A and B are shown apart, each in its own frame.
Chain A
Amino acid sequence: ETGVTQTPRHLVMGMTNKKSLKCEQHLGHNAMYWYKQSAKKPLELMFVYNFKEQTENNSVPSRFSPECPNSSHLFLHLHTLQPEDSALYLCASSQEGRTGGSGYTFGSGTRLTVV
């Protein structure tokens, strides 16, 4: 399998649940990202991992907790979410430091609904 794979594609969770989103890339990239896409809002960068180290956290609430066990896998752990957290969560990867290529490669996203 190639590219960036995200699971699950759809997730409905209650505000007291704990769930995790998974992202896997098979491109040999060394950087991975979580983006949030809400209705009628620009894409929001949430977290950046370079070589498994978190290099950016854009003031994301602590109810979102990322984990990057290796350069191919990225998780987003969710707990006690709010209805306004309902959105499309996109994972992306890139080869950091290389100026060629296509920038980000995105996954298909996880459509999250918090009820």
Chain B
Amino acid sequence: AQKVTQAQTEISVVEKEDVTLDCVYETRDTTYYLFWYKQPPSGELVFLIRRNSFDEQNEISGRYSWNFQKSTSSFNFTITASQVVDSAVYFCALSEAGYFNKFYFGSGTKLNVKP
């Protein structure tokens, strides 16, 4: 079974719109870590956020915010007032029990922000 599901393959928005990228995960571990990475056209995956399973506080960083809900096994990512530079593929990932060699990536959501 897929451990991380990103159901949205591709999303297109117009600049300044808000957009939410969905991530649903599956694990039996009580200790786990969730991540979001951004992959711009240059190819490198850039770390955005790490959240551990014991910290359900939502986080805001500038225009980015993350909503972690254990009850629904979701870790959604919202970009407010999107910009063209936000265009990229975004990956959600799960690491179980802190072992980083057991990383499970979602299939990614391609975000297109049009001017």
Residue ranges of A at the interface with B (Cβ–Cβ < 8 Å): 31, 33, 41-43, 45, 48, 50, 55-56, 88, 90, 92, 94-99, 101-109, 111
Q: Is the CB of B107 within 8 A of A108?
A: no
Which A residue sits closest to B93, measured CB to CB? A103
Given contacts A96-B101, A103-B33, A103-B100, contact A42 B106 (CB under 8 A): yes
Q: Is there a chain A Cβ closer than 8 Å to B64's Cβ?
A: no
Contacts of B46 in A (CB 8 A): 106
Q: List 21 A-B contacts (CB under 8 A).
A: A31-B100, A31-B101, A42-B106, A43-B91, A55-B101, A56-B101, A96-B101, A97-B98, A99-B98, A102-B35, A102-B47, A102-B50, A103-B33, A103-B35, A103-B95, A103-B103, A104-B45, A104-B100, A106-B44, A107-B44, A108-B43
Q: Is there a chain A Cβ closer than 8 Å to B105's Cβ?
A: yes
Contact pick for A43, options B33, B95, B105, CB 8 Å: B105
Q: Is the CB of B95 within 8 A of A48?
A: no
Q: Is there a chain A Cβ closer than 8 Å to B57's Cβ?
A: no
A8 to B83, CA, bound (A): 31
Contacts of B107 in A (CB 8 A): 41-42
